[in-house]
Amino acid sequence: AAAEVHTGFNYGAYWRDNNRAKTKADFVRQFTLAKNLPNTPVPFDTARLFTSIQWGSTATTQKHIEAFDAAVETSTKLLLGFWAPDEQLLDKEIEALRRGFDAHGARLADLVIGLSVGNEDMYRFARNDTIEGDTTEGMQNRVESARAKIAKSTFAHFMKDKPIGHTDIQDYAADIKGFDFVGLNTYPYYSEMAIENANESFFNTLAEVEQKAGDTPVWVGETGWPFSGIAMGSAAPSAENMQRYWTEVGCHLFGKYNTFWFQLEKDSPDEADWGLVDTASQKPRINDLSCPSPEEPVP
| Domain residue ranges in the chain | 7-187+196-224+258-266
Per-residue b or e along 74-109, where b marks 16 or more CB atoms closer than 10 Å to that residue's CB: bebbbbbbbbbbeeebbebbbbbbbbbbeebeeebb
d(CA 191, CA 195) in angstroms, rounded, equals 11
| Coil/strand/helix, residue 169 | strand
Q: What is the CA radius of gyration of the chain?
A: 18
Half-sphere exposure of 207 (CA within 13 A, CB side): 9
Q: What angle in degrees, to the nearest 10, is found between the helix axes of 136-151 and 87-104?
A: 30
pLDDT digits (tens, 9 = 90+) for 87-119: 999 999 999 999 999 999 999 999 999 999 999
Q: What is the percentage of the chain residues whose pLDDT exceeds 90?
A: 86
Q: What is the percentage of the chain residues whose pLDDT exceeds 70?
A: 95
| Coil/strand/helix, residue 263 | coil
d(CA 191, CA 200) in angstroms, rounded, equals 12
Mean pLDDT of the chain: 94
User: Across the strands, what pairs with 284?
Assistant: 277
- Where in the sequence numbering do the catalytic residues fall? 120, 222
pLDDT of 259 above 70 = yes
pLDDT at 131: 62
Q: What average pLDDT does range 175-198 have in this prediction?
A: 96
pLDDT at 299: 46
pTM of the model: 0.95
d(CA 16, CA 13) in angstroms, rounded, equals 9
pLDDT of 8 above 60 = yes
Least confident window among 29-33, 198-202, 289-293: 289-293
Instruction: Name the fold adopted by 7-187+196-224+258-266.
Output: TIM Barrel (3.20.20)
- On the 0-12 / 13-18 / 19+ scale of CB atoms within 10 A, 269 is exposed
At 43, is the pLDDT very low, low, confident or very high (cuts 50, 70, 90)? Answer: very high
pLDDT at 129: 60
Q: What average pLDDT does range 219-240 have in this prediction?
A: 98
pLDDT at 263: 98
At 295, is the pLDDT very low, low, confident or very high (cuts 50, 70, 90)? Answer: low
Q: Are strands 283-284 and 277-278 parallel, antiparallel or unpaired?
A: antiparallel
Least confident window among 50-59, 62-71, 245-254: 50-59
pLDDT at 244: 99
pLDDT of 60 above 80 = no
pLDDT of 298 above 60 = no
